[in-house]
Amino acid sequence: MTAGLDVLYRLGAQVPALALAGRPLADQARRLDTLLAHTSWTADTLLAALAAPFEGPVRTSAGAVVSARITALPATPAHVPEQSRTRSDATGARIRRVRAECTECGRPPEAGTDLCAECAGWPRCPACRIYRTPDGTPCRHCADTAPALAEPVGRCTGQDGAGCGAPLLAIGPLGPLCGRCEADVRRARAARDAQWDAAVQAAGAAAEAGSVQ
């Protein structure tokens, strides 16, 4: 048994609502093993933080709550504010929560609300599809790391030459066409080729019929 598993088994005994099993138990135990191996967190301080009482009803799985609480832990326990301890039962001391939590799932809430971004219904960032923003615009990470947009080399002339006006970053094999117009041109050429083949076959069939007569 690893130290992380031991912490989670103790957590389940102390807070039955957070008892884990199977894949969630193994996944969260690995995260705790990493914290115990590479930070100043100890098994006791981790257990105290994870066993913090709930501020309201829990409407999600124990695995989601434990995962959110591990994610919300500061880098070192030295950053955790002083916490008062009160004897609650024979299993040990209960400790106030380290940080505020979403009232729906237990994840850290967004500023100015009691809900996390997912429970608040925020749309995902259109660039990375990972983080969520209130209005669906790119998240701060994507906005800060987005590459500079390349200057267009021209405008699409359109299938019939009238020009759809879409900016082009490169000129394709069929000329200055955007992807949509290039597909239209290819379909039109394929239709003309099919008509030509059909006409040739019809002419050949008519010639063959005439020679037989």
DSSP per position, 139-166: PHHHHHHPPPPPPP-EE---TTSS----
User: What's the predicted TM-score (pTM) here?
Assistant: 0.39
pLDDT for residue 195: 92
pLDDT for residue 123: 86
pLDDT for residue 7: 92
**pLDDT(32) > 80:** yes
**pLDDT(93) > 60:** no
Structure tokens at 26: 């193994």
The whole-angstrom separation of Cα 12 and Cα 16 is 5
* Range in 10-19, 67-76, 120-129 the model is least confident about: 120-129
pLDDT for residue 100: 67
Crossing angle for the helix pair 43-50 and 62-71, to the nearest 10 degrees = 120
* Range in 82-96, 168-182, 186-200 the model is least confident about: 82-96
pLDDT in tens, 52-83: 887 767 677 888 889 888 988 887 775 444 44
* Range in 15-19, 21-25, 89-93, 160-164 the model is least confident about: 89-93
Burial classification of residue 138, based on how many CB atoms lie within 10 Å of its CB (0-12 exposed, 13-18 middle, 19 or more buried):
middle
The residue ranking higher by pLDDT, 27 or 54, is 27
Structure tokens at 22: 């199977």
Q: Which residue carries 């500023």 as its tokens?
A: 111
Total Cβ atoms within 10 A of residue 92 = 16
- Report yes or no: 121 and 134 within 8 Å, Cβ to Cβ: no
Cα torsion through 93, 99, 102, 108, rounded to 10:
-130
Region 1-22: mean pLDDT is 89
Structure tokens at 29: 């135990």
The whole-angstrom separation of Cα 31 and Cα 27 is 7
The per-residue b/e assignment along 145-182, b for 16 or more CB within 10 angstroms, e otherwise, is: eeeeeeeeeeebbbbeeeeeebebeeeeeeebbbeebb
- Report yes or no: 40 and 77 within 8 Å, Cβ to Cβ: yes
pLDDT for residue 96: 41
pLDDT for residue 81: 42
Q: Which residue carries 């995962």 as its tokens?
A: 67
Contacts of 75 (CB under 8 A, 6+ apart): 39
